[in-house]
A and B are shown apart, each in its own frame.
Chain A
Amino acid sequence: MPLSEEQLERFSRHIILKDVGVEGQEKILRGKVLIVGAGGLGAPAALYLAAAGVGTIGIVDGDVVDRTNLQRQVIHFTPDIGKAKVISAQEKILQINPGVAVQIHQERLFAHNILDIIRRYDFVIDGTDNFPAKFLINDACVLARKAFSHGGILRFDGQTMTYVPGSACYRCVFLQPPPKDAVPTCAQAGVLGAVAGMLGTIQAAEALKYLIGKGRLLTDRLLIFHALTMEFRTVRFQRNPACPVCGAHPTITGLQDYEQGTCDLRKPR
């Protein structure tokens, strides 16, 4: 279907880019991106992907908006306190771009439900805040041959990498989740809100590059930045032949739920 006049105007700044054009914008419009976690990373990612015209955006989050979220989770507004994050995010996405089909998954991802959810999408953005979820997303995406963007933030630091089938995976770099409580969570250590925005928008840009098929993704590289000195560096790494999930002789051939730090689990409301 040709782009409508409304779409030509809305996406004009994309279309005039040589590497996007009409064809690239049509790919974005057909694209399906899953955002896991409507938090610090997922919020800016969802806003930019909606504005960019991504046709289908899935949001996974089982939490409700809390006052402490508002300092960085920019898709949620003060009147949203107490509202399910997936609903709050869906409302803002549709206000930015009513043309997006928003799929809400008001739940946490576990070994038993993750594969069924991710298979419906082209690209997955990991915007979670805990290691068990990050390893689960990695393992599921490797097993399902699904491209995803890893992202992590703490205090003034951010790190991100992109996986596509055949490239090094998160587990090639970080073999297994750290021991419980070895690494503080954002709730314990704090995070500069803008750092979440910086990282979430990098993840959104990777998703868009993946959809249009242009440029060079952040594969086999880990981008690390420290906002206090505003230094960015890229660490190259290779696929680990002994990686337990993507290596030559994988020991992880199915999914399991990893132990969750007790402080990561919210009390049910």
Chain B
Amino acid sequence: MDSAIKQKIDLHGVTCPMNFVKTKVALASLAAGDLLEVILDEGEAILNVPRSVKEEGHQVVQVESLGEMFRVVIRKG
């Protein structure tokens, strides 16, 4: 799957709502169907960003725990 990922952004330490803003900026530069990998902190970030991403019509295809962080793969809708 990694080989298909078009862009990766590390949002460790980036709080709400700027983590969602940065995710939207990254998604805006991709084409529909492209994969984006986002690193998000536990807590508020991982609770809110994937939900907001889904509300905008994108798909969360993978969520992997990396200890205090999460690796989330999003397919642009």
Point out residues on A near B: beta carbons under 8 Å. Answer: 2-3, 8-9, 12-13, 15-16, 18, 21-23
Contact = CB atoms under 8 A, between A and B. Distances in A.
Contacts of A21: 24, 28
A13 B17 contact: yes
Interface of B is mostly: helix
B25 A3 contact: yes
Interface of A is mostly: helix
B21 interface: yes
Given A16-B20, A16-B52, A21-B28, 18 more contacts: A2-B25, A8-B18, A8-B25, A9-B18, A12-B17, A12-B21, A13-B17, A15-B21, A15-B24, A16-B17, A16-B21, A16-B24, A18-B56, A21-B24, A22-B24, A22-B25, A22-B28, A23-B28
Interface of B: 17-18, 20-22, 24-25, 28, 52, 55-56
Nearest to B25: A22
B25 A18 contact: no
A21 B24 CA distance: 7
Contact of A12 (B18, B28, B52, B56): B18
A12 B14 CA distance: 13
A8 B22 contact: yes
Contacts of A13: 17
Contacts of B52: 16
